[in-house]
Structure 1
Amino acid sequence: MKMKTSGKAVGSSVIATKPHGKAAVVSGNDVDVMGFGEVTLVPHEAELRFRLIHFWEARSPHTKTLIGEEMLLIDEQGNVIQGFIPASRVQTYLREMTSGSVYRLNKFFGSRSKVQFRVADHNVTVMFSWNTVLTPLQNSLVPFPEDRFRFHDHEEFEANCDLRGDLYDYVCHMRLINGQAMTEHLIIDEVDIAEKRHLVVHVQTHDRPVMKLCLWDQAATAFCQKFKSYGSTPRVLLVTTVNPKRIGECLWTLMSSRPGTILTGRSGSNSGVANEVIADVVTKPETVTLGELFSYIKQETAKVAWFECTATVDDVLHGSPWYYISCGGCNTKATKGPTSLVCTNKKCAKSEVVGVPQYLTKISVYDKSEQAVFVLPGDAGRELTGKHVSELVARYFEIHKFVVKVSQHNLTGKTHTITVTKVLPAPAPQNAIEDPADERIRKASGSLESHEAKRAKSG
């Protein structure tokens, strides 16, 4: 429905530059206000009034060249539409734009919305043209909604995985942040996140499967800032415009354009559940073959990750055992300080480190798709399966299940050996009590790759 308003327009006259350099003054007394529902695929002279929810750069995925500025707009009726400013006109309007502010827009073109990565249901995009005029709407008597969300659940993300279609919103419980369980005094390592440029949050809605949310660059920084702003650990996350993808057998939701919002609160009766989440359960690795494991490592988008694989152990590589000195408290690699050993784990509380030797061994394994070399702590077999690592090959062609870590050194090609973080025991009888795996094997694995890379360089 179009509305006619009489009287002078709010604010002063606005100047828009024409292609030939002359200026056009806009100060109309009668304003033809158009709602988003009336925007069609033609040029429009009418005025749009809206709140600018958010805006972000659109760049070519290959050349990184700026294509333009994407915008998400909402009118007084709560209708949402996408806007776009071509790269050649971005600087003309960018200095006037602030997320959350209310604007009036005159003279624009209705363009067909793109199919991929849409953030609004409307099939038309508001395209800025050479004579478009954008001005703040001061002292508006009409309230404009702050935002509007398009929520999807796990099943819908699953169905739209890897289709590069609409980017939807998600509200969920946070289970892990970079592998750390949600405790009352959780501290996020911002230095580590800044170096890696991303963080991973394990998220879940009620009792649905867990998904991994990857936040990059500005989104990761905004997450850390909002997380720290709360007096206690927030449990609920509202994240917007996420892109569902599948890596291995796990469903990931990758942060797209708009920064997510952390909601405070204990999520009602579910707070107890959130506090009782066990990291090893939430981060159950995806099952892959050795061939799929190496294919993943070769992908340009591959990240550090854990996988579960079944392989046959056929040999212990002779002459390969070696060791490093670890902290007796957390089993992280220890280095020599001025007067004593120093733990390299920033979160370790021990000021005086007692060194403990950690023995490591290489084993040769294979499955139907590929052959590989695994490196693991010498006591891993005994502690996790009742056997020493050398006993794993007492019977040749015996099949075992391993949890392995694809490290940064694997991704950069510094080493081709794969670090084992856990050797899974054979299935126990139904009435048997299963012993928990020793957590120190997992903690020790973080320092294996750096040593292995050094040995690889030295031959």
Structure 2
Amino acid sequence: MELSGKSPASSDHNTSKKTVASSATAKSTGKSTASSAIMVKRNGKAVASSANPMEPNAATDLSSLPSEQVMFFREVSLGPREAELMFRMIHFWDARNPNTKTLIGREMLLIDEEGTVIQGFIPASRVERYELIAGSVYKLINFFGSRSKDQFRVADHSATVSFSWNSSLSVLENPPVQIPEDRFRFHTYEEFKANCDSRADLYDYVGHMKLVNGQTLTDHIVLDEADIAEKRHLCVHIQTHDGPVMKMYLWDKAASDFCQKFKSYGGIPSVLLVTTVNPKHIGGTLALTSMSSSRVFMDADVQPSKDYLEWLVSNSEIANRVSAEVVTKPEAVTLGELFSYIKNETSKVAWFECTATIDDVIQGSAWYYISCGGCNSKAVKGPTSLVCNNKKCDKREVTGVPQYLTKISVYDKSEQAVFVILGDAGKELTGKHAAELVANYFESNAGVGVDHCVPVPDALLETIGQTRKFIVKVSDHNLTGKTQTITVTKIIPAGAPLPSVSDGISKTGGDDSGPSGVVGGDAGDRARKAAEYLESDEAKRSKSG
């Protein structure tokens, strides 16, 4: 089925993607944009003027500038422009520093009467000057055409309309021309896969839901909003037509919007459309994550979701053909295949399942490290207390928490390897937290100083000879040859079913323009932090001989 709107959009730079523009017949205020007036010309376009001479003439009042200076978005170029734009505000969102959360500015998605979409930007110092309402039509006089960012673009245009010191913005209650309400840029599974982890343009996705937080779509499905709010995300298994099933991670506001829309339907909605999603490898499979700019629509919200719902009703047997669980598990490989993947020059960061036997727990170095309780980075001694080693962390004085940093030697029928067990993966291996094992040692050895290195506990040594399923991450450190140690993010007893990868998603966020998308839950977050520490520690040892 071809996705199509009521009014065609202008041609795309990338012909492989589907672009949909929906026509605008009413604004968010509920007033019609139609007018029973005579027609005048604006840049060769027919526009309506007021039939009542006592009323403000919208077309005449459109600009105090000469008509040749009124611009369409396709005419916008780089540099300051003393010109006028007329557009509909599709959507706006705050851009914040991902670490400090400081407001950078307000980003906008704008559409003009030709259906051309462009990104807009208001610097933080000017945000309070303008009252924005999504869906309203505005007139903007004077702006700066800045170069669009290279990463995470939400529109095809190479320029961004940036509000400058002399910009003037006013709302048009009765626009003289019709302006489309929205526009969508759809990508297929193959296109998302080709752009995975590239931080390139953000495109839209529409499909039918198969699971929501692991639950099938039945009348008995219940969304635990408190749990979703605490974790700040939810996971939806979603599929387009008969293509592969993907996981869609909705974060923060997108997760909240999903819950509200899901509950607002009388029945159970089937179709999900999410805009500006980021394709990433999560748990060894392609997944999509929402961004600050993302919007959520369901069954009858917009024309593309209506079109898809119509297809879904007529093709239910195709929609139910693929099982979500089959396609979302990490790929099972041998250790030999894992090393072959690492040596491949085209390989990217990925997750795999390896079944291996533990041969030894490597000793001679600490099996744990002391982490910051706030961000899980390494904590170091300060003048009077422990301090976080992460300069971006807002906790300068911390309570140290022991975390697993344990190297084990493993083997299977094809190869040997060294795995590093980090964070919660250690508890999955031993059944005990590192903090518990460390505390037990000091309780049993009261005279030992706090700087004493706790020897490898029996709980770890007793795992020698056990065969386990390991979910491992091939990281940038492996691909660049900085370390051969493979990071373990999850451990499952042999024979146990693999958990949903969503069980391992980080609580730190899924938006690269805001929260960072880190996989592995507490384990994955600690894995990333500790892996950086591990790499640094290994580099120091190699330099010292």
Q: Which TM-score band (shorter chain)?
A: 0.5 to 0.7
Residue equivalent to 2:115: 78
Residue equivalent to 2:152: 117
Residue equivalent to 2:70: 33
Distance 1:97 1:76 in 2: 19
Distance 2:195 2:471 in 1: 29
1:58-207 to 2 correspondences below 5 Å: 58-93=95-130, 96-207=131-242
Alignment of 1:310 onto 2:355: yes
Aligned pairs, number: 328
- C-alpha deviation, 1:309, in angstroms: 2.4
- Give the % identical residues: 57
For 1:308, the aligned partner's letter is E
- C-alpha deviation, 1:108, in angstroms: 0.8
- C-alpha deviation, 1:121, in angstroms: 0.6
3-state SS, counterpart of residue 88 of structure 1: helix
Residue 183 to residue 279, structure 1, CA distance change in 2 (3 Å): farther
Choose the corresponding residue for 1:45, options 72, 82, 98.
Answer: 82
For 2:90, the aligned partner's letter is I
Distance 1:251 1:51 in 2: 34
- C-alpha deviation, 1:161, in angstroms: 1.2
3-state SS, counterpart of residue 34 of structure 1: coil
Choose the corresponding residue for 2:294, options 251, 258, 266.
Answer: 258
Distance 1:226 1:92 in 2: 31
For 1:402, the aligned partner's letter is K
Residue equivalent to 2:43: 2
Distance 2:325 2:276 in 1: 29
Distance 2:229 2:203 in 1: 26
Choose the corresponding residue for 1:402, options 455, 469, 479.
Answer: 469
Residue equivalent to 1:210: 245
Alignment of 1:239 onto 2:306: no
3-state SS, counterpart of residue 149 of structure 1: strand
Distance 2:359 2:161 in 1: 64
CA contact (8 A) 1:3 1:34 kept: no
Residue 278 to residue 258, structure 1, CA distance change in 2 (3 Å): closer
Q: Which has the higher contact order (CA 8 A, sep 6+)?
A: 2
Distance 2:494 2:209 in 1: 25
For 2:355, the aligned partner's letter is T
CA contact (8 A) 2:78 2:144 kept: yes
Cα offsets for 1:21-68 (capped at 9, x unmatched): xxxxx9728554211111111322221111000011111223322111
CA contact (8 A) 1:83 1:126 kept: yes
CA contact (8 A) 1:404 1:421 kept: no
Residue 238 to residue 196, structure 1, CA distance change in 2 (3 Å): same
Q: Once structures 1 and 2 are overlaid, which stretch shifts more, 208-217 or 124-133? A: 208-217
CA contact (8 A) 2:110 2:117 kept: yes
Residue 249 to residue 215, structure 1, CA distance change in 2 (3 Å): same
Distance 1:106 1:417 in 2: 53
Distance 2:238 2:289 in 1: 12
- C-alpha deviation, 1:9, in angstroms: 5.7
Residue equivalent to 2:316: 271
3-state SS, counterpart of residue 76 of structure 1: coil
Residue 270 to residue 308, structure 1, CA distance change in 2 (3 Å): farther
Q: Once structures 1 and 2 are overlaid, which stretch shifts more, 219-228 or 31-40? A: 31-40
Distance 1:275 1:208 in 2: 11
CA contact (8 A) 1:2 1:35 kept: no
3-state SS, counterpart of residue 201 of structure 1: strand
Residue equivalent to 1:366: 410
Residue 176 to residue 199, structure 1, CA distance change in 2 (3 Å): same
Distance 2:299 2:230 in 1: 26
CA contact (8 A) 1:162 1:244 kept: yes
Residue 209 to residue 222, structure 1, CA distance change in 2 (3 Å): same
For 2:93, the aligned partner's letter is W
Cα offsets for 1:81-106 (capped at 9, x unmatched): 1111111111101xx20111111111
Distance 2:79 2:278 in 1: 30
Give the unaligned 5+ runs of structure 2.
1-41, 51-55, 301-308, 339-350, 361-407, 432-463, 474-487, 505-545
Residue equivalent to 2:330: 285
CA contact (8 A) 2:249 2:290 kept: yes
Give the unaligned 5+ runs of structure 1.
14-25, 293-305, 316-363, 378-395, 407-415, 425-436, 447-459
For 2:316, the aligned partner's letter is S
CA contact (8 A) 1:183 1:275 kept: no
Residue 246 to residue 67, structure 1, CA distance change in 2 (3 Å): same
Distance 1:41 1:27 in 2: 22
Choose the corresponding residue for 2:495, options 423, 427, 434.
Answer: 423
3-state SS, counterpart of residue 207 of structure 2: strand
Q: Once structures 1 and 2 are overlaid, which stretch shifts more, 254-263 or 367-376? A: 367-376
Residue 35 to residue 29, structure 1, CA distance change in 2 (3 Å): closer
For 1:259, the aligned partner's letter is R
- C-alpha deviation, 1:179, in angstroms: 1.3
Distance 1:141 1:239 in 2: 31
Residue 104 to residue 366, structure 1, CA distance change in 2 (3 Å): same
Cα offsets for 1:350-387 (capped at 9, x unmatched): xxxxxxxxxxxxxx99333235675599xxxxxxxxxx
CA contact (8 A) 1:289 1:369 kept: no
CA contact (8 A) 2:203 2:278 kept: yes
- C-alpha deviation, 1:263, in angstroms: 2.2
Residue 162 to residue 28, structure 1, CA distance change in 2 (3 Å): same
Q: Once structures 1 and 2 are overlaid, which stretch shifts more, 62-71 or 148-157? A: 62-71
Residue 272 to residue 188, structure 1, CA distance change in 2 (3 Å): farther
3-state SS, counterpart of residue 161 of structure 1: coil
Residue 186 to residue 162, structure 1, CA distance change in 2 (3 Å): same
Residue equivalent to 1:358: none
Bigger strand share: 1
Residue 287 to residue 135, structure 1, CA distance change in 2 (3 Å): farther
- C-alpha deviation, 1:12, in angstroms: 12
3-state SS, counterpart of residue 287 of structure 2: strand
Residue 27 to residue 33, structure 1, CA distance change in 2 (3 Å): closer
For 1:217, the aligned partner's letter is D
Distance 2:201 2:162 in 1: 19
